Chain A
Amino acid sequence: MANLHEYECPCCGGGLEFNSAVQKVKCPYCDTEFELSVLESVDADLAEAGSDDIAFQSTTGGEWGEGETDGMNVYVCKSCGGEIVTDSTTGATKCPYCDNPVVMMGQFKGDLKPSRIIPFKKDKAAAKAAYLQHISGKKLLPPQFRDQNHIDEIKGVYVPFWLLDATADAHIIFNGTKIKKWSDDDYDYEKRDYYSITRVGTLGFKAIPVDSSTKMEDDLMDSIEPYDLKDAVPFKTAYLAGYLADKYDVSSEESLERATYRIKNSTEQAFRSTVKDFDELTIKTDTLKTKDGKSEYVLLPVWILNTTYNGQKYVFAMNGQTGRMVGDLPCDKGLLTKYFWKYALIGGAIGGVIMTLFQLLNQ
């Protein structure tokens, strides 16, 4: 059970949580606040530890059959003795019996230790407020959906990300056309000059974030960018207290594929901006290599809100640093039809008036 850690309040024994408002660890029971440095001794132990076998952390004994625990870990809560079952990537959670926050230390040892973390700046109330703001003013949103009771769950999660640095080394050939038009009394003329344009060069990229958890939708995580890394601090497990956290299950090499797609598009755009005075420009061939690749493992704060409507699950995400809220909303088909005909009648009426006036003026 050495891998499971609870930050207990030295005053009352309650489970400590990181408080985003005061940026300190705070006891929710007796309101005592602690500097993170007080809890640094625990992290010092982590730093000394080597890599761990991450496939299976600990079990409660012989109760589980062979293969039964594949893909999950079982811990025992130090506060109440309850059994905490998690999947293999969970790094921090709460005991389902006593609700005490617990950190699975083994998930952040050795190579699995993130180098930096951006602590939560927005709290749960801010996430709820942002959600309500997000759904307000949407004319096609089903009225029932606005009911606050539809929020099933709000959870603060430290999501693992790779920050990728790379230099794009590109060789791009464009097809370019210069068009000249002129006329005389009888004819319109058009002259097209065709060119082959070559650009070879490099473009540097720094800290492209790619989420490294298969639990998180990539598009959802893309949509809450950007994060300001000025707030990133060296990783300490104490920051995880009171939140959920996962360790990565997508390697930096796998993440590079997604980052390369974005690098390629941006490189094409940057190279294209160096080609002037052409009326038409298309890419003929594009060869791109990445070099000086470097990755950094970090944890970034995300508030996740789940809701269910008409049997379908809707997931919303809020950047825990900037407060940017995203999430697709359902469309009420009845309202869609109503607004279609409303706009059609207004548009048709205005069009009819204009055409009638035009007709009268021309008579």
Chain B
Amino acid sequence: MNIGAIIIAVILIGLLSGLIGTSALKAELKSVYKKTQANSYVVNGSLNIVKRRETFLYSKEDKREKPKQKTN
């Protein structure tokens, strides 16, 4: 790896670290969210599944050639 590639990689790692770090700090400031679920209010043992069906539809098979190693 040449020096130019290392410098670019270091800059990218640095920018990514800055973005992840500040995103985590920003998340600390937010605590108000809309509730999307009511899991806390489910009556215990009330789940009653009266019909279960699993129907096979079709199959699909793919194959990919493995990359061959170059030999001199």
Contacts and interface: CB of A to CB of B under 8 A. Distances in A.
Contact of B43 (A134, A141, A204, A347): A204
A341 B19 CA distance: 9
B42 A352 contact: no
B15 to A, nearest CB: 6
A204 B44 CA distance: 8
Interface residues of A, number: 75
Nearest to B29: A329
Mostly, the B contact residues are mixed
Contacts of B16: 347
A320 to B, nearest CB: 17
B72 interface: no
Mostly, the A contact residues are mixed
Interface stretch (A6-14, A36-44, A261-269): A261-269
A271 interface: yes
Interface string B4-19: 0010011101111111
B28 to A, nearest CB: 5
B53 interface: yes
Contacts of B64: 187-188, 190
Given A176-B54, A187-B63, A340 B49 contact: no
Nearest to A315: B32
Contact of A265 (B28, B36, B46): B36
Contacts of B62: 189-192
Contacts of A191: 59-62
Given A196-B55, A262-B37, A355-B10, A183 B22 contact: no
Contact of B42 (A204, A222, A336, A345): A204
B10 A190 contact: no
Nearest to A200: B51
A331 B37 contact: no
B30 to A, nearest CB: 5
Contact of B22 (A262, A326, A336): A336
A242 B67 CA distance: 78
Given A139-B25, A189-B63, A218 B38 contact: no
A270 B47 CA distance: 8
A259 B35 CA distance: 10
Contacts of A219: 32-34
A194 B30 CA distance: 41
A203 B42 contact: yes
A96 interface: no
Nearest to A263: B38
26 contacts: A140-B25, A191-B60, A193-B56, A194-B57, A195-B54, A198-B54, A199-B49, A201-B49, A203-B47, A205-B43, A206-B41, A208-B38, A222-B34, A223-B33, A225-B40, A265-B36, A327-B32, A328-B29, A330-B29, A344-B14, A345-B14, A347-B14, A347-B17, A351-B10, A352-B13, A359-B6
Sort A-B residue pairs by CB-CB distance and give the 6 closest, nearest first: A347-B17, A348-B14, A343-B21, A204-B46, A344-B18, A351-B13
Given A140-B28, A191-B62, A347-B18, 15 more contacts: A167-B46, A198-B54, A199-B52, A201-B48, A203-B46, A223-B32, A269-B39, A270-B47, A328-B31, A339-B22, A343-B18, A344-B14, A344-B17, A348-B17, A351-B10
